[in-house]
Amino acid sequence: MRCRWWGHPPHQFRPADRIAAPGTTVGWVPANISLKPDGHIIDGDIWGSSGDLRILPDVAARAVTGLTGAPTPFDMTPGDIIGLDGTPWSACSRSALRAAIAAMEQATGLRILSSFEQEFQLFDTGLPDAHVFSFQALRRAEPFAGRYFAALSEAGVDPEVIIAEYGADQYEITTGPTGPLAAADRAVIVREITREMARLQGWRATFAPKTRPDAVGNGVHIHFSLVDADGAPVGFDASRLGRLSPVAAAFCAGIVHHMPAILALTAPSPSSYLRLKPHNWSSAWTWLGERDREASLRICPTVDLPGKDPARQFNVEYRAADATANPYLALAALVRAGTDGIVRGLTAPVFSGDPEQLSSGERAELGLHRLPETLDAALDAMEASEALRNWFAPDLIRSYLGVKRAQAAEAQGLDDADLCAACAAQY
């Protein structure tokens, strides 16, 4: 017997393949952007119950793997939210990143390559204790780590390395550099595959920035480098401070300049600010530093070995981020801020040392300012930034602020331990 609709034997019936058909879309609702992490729509949602949208799949970004251990393949296709007339929806975060990329290319003629370095923890594993960073800490999780890397490879996200990290039952996964839209897609796909494979193992994976107030945090480091229209690197100059070319230095200066405002997009949960503290191997200051893991914007090292071109290795990482952030909005904000730095010719010093050891005057002279210390303070900085309000559609900003203000208000009734536990369960 054959399926009349598809013309294939029943065992070959694959509904997911319909996404490749021209014009295929999936229904969506505007108010979904006002959902909190707990799954409830905020009070005062600006969208209400009316309106209809569609999700237009980006077939080129489709990720498929049969190696997660599930009875059916993992099959995920990122897409853009559009209106019924096919135009991009004003509050679509993927479209916001597309617009940031286009604005950068138009203003500078340059492009950006990016990748996400993500940390997560595994709970309920029953695994024996092992020393942090050790080979044993990685091997004790087998066959998880090997199958996990294979699944990510088959899904096309170009995993580079998985390691046991500094925290208990903590791991880090990195992916190769690519265009910013693909990099953000990969960040989402990696998280979903991680959670699925942990669940099927009887474990629980979380990317929460803090799982306990005294625990090592889980960060996301967003790496980027600049290339010209032909793909040639333009960020490296060995003769300059930090080895940053003039255009790369200006791009970094733009991020430093706007960092307090964009922090609400890159560290957007109340528990994010339990991690962003001095001497915590994370980020606490508006700081461009070379090979310093306390810097918010860190110039990464290059390897001086035969056959290794430092210009193609050279990149910078933004460290004031975690996986509670929407990767499209986080990267869009970095691209917009960096572009503004290039257009305005901004500068920022490359600082080495400990900001805590400087006087307030010395810090001010170096442009070292304490980052907002709570989500509400970061949201205040975001609202006060005219530049940021011009980068994103008003409806997107209003919706985002509504959700995040609601989260901040709810956190007021929780102690740090309960706050961490709630976030770890959600992420």
CATH of the domain at 222: 3.30.590.10
The answer to whether 220 and 296 are in contact (CB under 8 A) is: no
pTM of the model: 0.94
Residue 75 is assigned to a structural domain of this protein: no
pLDDT at 1 over 80: no
Give domain status of residue 46, yes or no: no
Once rounded to an integer, what is the mean pLDDT over residues 412-425?
Answer: 93
Q: What is the DSSP letter of 19?
A: G
What range defines the domain where residue 132 resides?
Answer: 92-426
Residue 147 lies in a domain: yes
Structure confidence at residue 20 as a pLDDT band (50, 70, 90): low
Residue type, 263: L
Contacts of 44 (CB under 8 A, 6+ apart): 402
Mean pLDDT, residues 12-24: 65
Chain position carrying tokens 């203000």: 405
What total number of domains does the chain contain? 1
Whether 79 maps to a domain, the answer reads: no
Helices 180-200, 327-344: inter-axial angle, 10-degree rounding: 150
Residue 78 lies in a domain: no
Does the residue 196 lie in any domain?
yes
State the Cα angle at 247 between 246 and 253, rounded to 5°.
90
Q: Which residues pair with 413 in a beta bridge?
A: none
Q: Is residue 402 part of a domain?
A: yes
Q: How far is CA 141 from the centre of its chain?
A: 25
Q: Is residue 32 part of a domain?
A: no
pLDDT tier, 138 (very low <50, low <70, confident <90, very high otherwise):
confident
pLDDT at 6 over 70: no
Per-residue pLDDT at 12:
45
Query: At 101, which amino acid appears?
Result: I
> Between vectors from CA 167 to CA 162 and to CA 172, what angle results, nearest 5°?
20
pLDDT higher than threshold 50 for residue 10: no
